[in-house]
Amino acid sequence: MKFILIALVIFFISCSGERVKPPIDRSFLDKDIPAQESWNSVVTFSDSGKIRAILYAGHIRIYPEKHETLLDSSIKIDFYDINERKTTTLTSKRGRVDDLTNDLFAIDSVVAESDSVIITTEEMMWRNKDKKIVSDKFVTILSPKEKIQGYGFESDQNLKNYVIYNITYITRRDTL
The pLDDT value recorded for residue 33 is 85
Residue 20 lies in a domain: no
Residue 113 lies in a domain: yes
Q: What CA–CA distances, in Å, run from 18 to 7, 24, 25, 173?
A: 20, 18, 22, 78
**How many CB atoms are located within 10 Å of the residue 121 CB?**
21
Q: Are 92 and 108 in contact (CB under 8 A)?
A: yes
pLDDT digits (tens, 9 = 90+) for 82-127: 899 999 999 999 999 999 999 999 999 999 999 999 999 999 999 9
Model's pTM, two decimal places? 0.77
Is residue 76 a part of any domain in this protein?
Answer: yes
Q: Indicate whether 1 belongs to any domain.
A: no
Mean pLDDT on 147-174 = 91
The CATH number assigned to the domain holding 140 equals 2.60.450.10
DSSP state of 33: S
> Sign of the CA dihedral 50, 94, 147, 135?
positive
pLDDT tens per residue across span 29-55: 666 788 999 999 999 988 889 999 999
Burial status of residue 118 (CB atoms within 10 A of its CB: 0-12, 13-18, 19 or more): middle
Task: Supply the pLDDT for residue 149.
Answer: 96
Q: How confident is the model at residue 11 (pLDDT cuts 50, 70, 90)?
A: low
Considering the domain boundaries, does residue 10 fall inside one?
A: no
Nearest residue to 102 (alpha-carbon basis) of 45, 51, 158: 45
Q: What is the DSSP letter of 174?
A: G
Average pLDDT of the residues of the chain: 87
The stretch 136-161 carries a mean pLDDT of: 94
56 near 73, Cβ under 8 Å? no
Question: Does the residue 9 lie in any domain?
Answer: no
Containing structural domain, residue 166: 33-175
pLDDT at 28: 63
**Is residue 84 situated within a structural domain?**
yes
Number of domains in the chain: 1
Q: Name the more confident of 19 and 33.
A: 33
77 inside domain: yes
Backbone angles phi, psi at 15, to 5 degrees: -80, -25
